[in-house]
Structure 1
Amino acid sequence: MAQNTQHQTALVGTWTSIPDAPAVQKPAHPSEGLYRLQVNSDGTLTPLDVIKMKSPSWIVKSHDGRFAYTTNEENAGAVTALAIDPSGAVRVLNVVDSHGQQPTHATISPDGKFLFVANYSVAKGGAGVAVFPIHSDGKLGEQVQHVPFEAGSGVVKDRQDGGHAHSTTFTPDGKYLYAADLGADKLHAYRYEAGRAEPLQADSTRDVTFAPGSGPRHMVFSPDGKHAYVITEMAGEIVVFTANDDRLTKVTSVKLNPDNSAAEYKSGGGIILSPQGHYIIAANRGSDNHLLVFKIGQDGSPGTPKRYKADGIEPRAFSFDASGKHLYVANVFTNSITLFDFDESSGELKPRGVAATISTPTDIKFFN
């Protein structure tokens, strides 16, 4: 359901060092941290200020929108807690060690008690899931649990020599957490019990193993909780599962680019649901750089996608604003946030061009 968009602001996460990649369009200046923008009634964005910090690459909102948490994706990984004032102003509350390297994703438990951080770690040995209590004032407490991801599948050289935690996702009933391990081609399942000193308890009977070299990255559940969709980075697919008693059973998989099987055209990125849950929106990066919109059928399966140019290179993450009518895409390598109008009835995206120019943007989230 569309929400009131008055006084809506956007936070844009970034990498504060410029990637050394051939497709990067070098910005005039590196990013300085977390950027705050005003969302105008027509969907355009007006820059307001920047909260200086290192590589706030992923942003997660508290359930009531009063707080936010960023993963600071550096070799010495950190997590920053932020207060979002009613005026939209942002204050840093505290910073904690992520107990790993290159944290790329975080999620909050449905009960709001803990933050679960995925330390990706480019180098072998710094990957895993770290668990932090969230205090009533929004600050993060010291880590209460660490689950290392050590073994990789070894299939894709330099990408799977060790484990790589890429995201953490709760089942709709809040009883289980699934952690995507790109390095091991697995989803690790954990039972969540908030009252325990260490709230995650491994349940290997619910683990999911993917085809070798797939690289599971992010996942979402259907609104009714009966299906799960996992985007794979190296295989360039969406893998569809039925969910029953929080157990996942594979149903099918859909290629992000069925017309080109070359490795450079397989680079799955973000995956989200449309505001009313009727569509899956996913990104394929690499040499493709398209957004795909899949209508979810009554049986939970995604239909044939409509493909749209992302209007940028490396569309890493994307979000709808509170109106549900505007989709914003963070294109890392072209230093741009691109804007699309979205029609929930048809699933169509209409490109509106560049909404903001920000160095190496990696994520965007909305607050009001």
Structure 2
Amino acid sequence: MKQSLLVTVFLAIFFACTTDKTTKMTENPITYSFLVGTYTDDASQGINQLDFTPSENKLEVRTIFPGIQNPSFVIANSVGDKVFTLEEIDNVPGGNIISLSRTSEDQVLTKLSELPSFGDHPCYIALSPNEQFLTVANYSGGSFSAYKIGENANLSHLQTIQHEGSSINQARQSSPHVHSTVFSPDGKFLLVADLGTDQVYVYNFNQDEAKPLTLNNIHKVTPGDGPRHLIFSKDGKEIMLVEEMSASLDILSFDAGKISPKQKISLVTEGFDGGVGAAEVRLSPDEKNIYVSNRGDANTISVISKKASGEYEFIQQILSGGIMPRNFNLTADGKYLLAAHQASDDVIIFERDLETGVLTQTNWKVSVHSPVYLFRLGD
């Protein structure tokens, strides 16, 4: 009886260990995938897909939709089967907005619909939280447009709003330059950053109206700052706004459509002398850190941490590893940051400390022609 019991226990332990080892051996390695928006020089270039598998030391980029002109911004819906991009051109009546289908099996894109952006040099696309509407910012045109996303991602133009005005830097701000359009997490508001007028416009968004956008109020930044991109905290109560021309980050509170300033953080170190061009801002998945890129002569990524008091502090500035870090993104688990460099034609990968948020450059690097936007797939 005792011998039988011992054999039973031994077999149970043996199979448990074997199963555990087998499970570990058959686990699929994690692959992080991103769509890559680019500037193009010929028809062989276009939208790319980047795949990064750290455990297998793999970092690959391939073109999945060639023959498109300057798809400098590209996003997908949450399922990943519909992709939206633009052609950043200035031909009358402006650039184009394009919807595409995407299959995860063979990872190719097929065009579904195309409409004009109704303004020169479209540069930014946003999906509403319910993924039923799309907006696009027209940089040179100083305007933005809204679209309804119909069946099979067919786009219907709803509204185009033209900004007016200027600011103090006549070389950069002699006219409006709409640089981004961002929905609030609840979908009730659309925030529009205008580099040319030094203002962030808050629009009400009512999806039941034929023209869903009406102006609520305007937040003015410091003259000459040049607001570029912004992001919301997950609860929608804070805004992180990048000021391109002054290379600074504004922390703002947001309540019922009203913006109030909280904190301003410089993205350059004391004594820095050179050109700047703050570009992208990202919030880490755990919301512990804010990351901001700075171009010009800086070519850095700044790391900002949130203190227990609710204020933010600058904890690290690190070289981005290339030239002109116009865009970057983090993996969904927050373990890695990928920096895309428009001028050095590469993507550099950093490892992120999950406790502190501090970045360390790795040896992973891949060449890609003029990468200017990274969209994370699989969220």
**Equivalent of residue 144 in structure 1, options 158, 168, 174:** 158
Partners of 2:227 and 2:63 in 1: how far apart? 35
> Offset of 1:8 from its aligned partner?
4.7
Partners of 1:230 and 1:253 in 2: how far apart? 10
Q: CA contact under 8 A between 2:89 and 2:122: conserved in structure 1?
A: yes
Partners of 1:323 and 1:240 in 2: how far apart? 24
**Equivalent of residue 157 in structure 1, options 148, 165, 170:** 170
Consecutive unaligned residues in structure 2, runs of 5 or more: 1-27
Residue identity matched to 1:224: D
Deviates more, 1:290-299 or 1:228-237: 290-299
**Equivalent of residue 255 in structure 2, options 244, 258, 263:** 244
Q: Call closer, same or farther: CA 1:65–1:298 in 2, change over 3 Å.
A: farther
Q: Call closer, same or farther: CA 1:260–1:130 in 2, change over 3 Å.
A: farther
Q: CA RMSD in A?
A: 2.0
TM-score (structure 1 length as normaliser): 0.88
**Equivalent of residue 56 in structure 1, options 71, 90, 104:** 71
**Equivalent of residue 16 in structure 1, options 40, 43, 65:** 40
Partners of 1:279 and 1:236 in 2: how far apart? 18
> 1:232 corresponds to which residue?
243
Q: Secondary structure at the match of 1:174?
A: coil
Partners of 1:335 and 1:83 in 2: how far apart? 27
> Offset of 1:30 from its aligned partner?
8.9
Partners of 2:265 and 2:280 in 1: how far apart? 15
Partners of 1:9 and 1:222 in 2: how far apart? 23
Partners of 1:182 and 1:176 in 2: how far apart? 19
> Offset of 1:320 from its aligned partner?
1.7
> 1:303 corresponds to which residue?
313
**Equivalent of residue 81 in structure 1, options 99, 104, 107:** 99
Q: Secondary structure at the match of 1:180?
A: strand
**Equivalent of residue 313 in structure 1, options 323, 345, 349:** 323
Bigger RCO (CA 8 Å, 6+ sep): 1
Task: Number of aligned residue pairs: give it.
Answer: 345
> 2:6 corresponds to which residue?
none
Q: Secondary structure at the match of 2:155?
A: coil
Could you give the per-residue CA deviations for residues 139-181 of structure 1, whole angstroms, max 9, x where no partner exists?
A: 322x11001123221x112210100000011222221111000
> 1:38 corresponds to which residue?
51
> 1:270 corresponds to which residue?
280
**Counting helix residues as a fraction of each chain, which structure ranks higher?**
2
> Offset of 1:104 from its aligned partner?
0.9
TM-score (structure 2 length as normaliser): 0.86
> Offset of 1:71 from its aligned partner?
2.3
Q: Percent identity?
A: 28
Q: Which has the larger radius of gyration?
A: 2
> 1:199 corresponds to which residue?
212
> 1:175 corresponds to which residue?
188
Report whether the alignment pairs 1:344 with 2:354: yes
Q: CA contact under 8 A between 1:256 and 1:266: conserved in structure 2?
A: no
Partners of 1:174 and 1:5 in 2: how far apart? 36
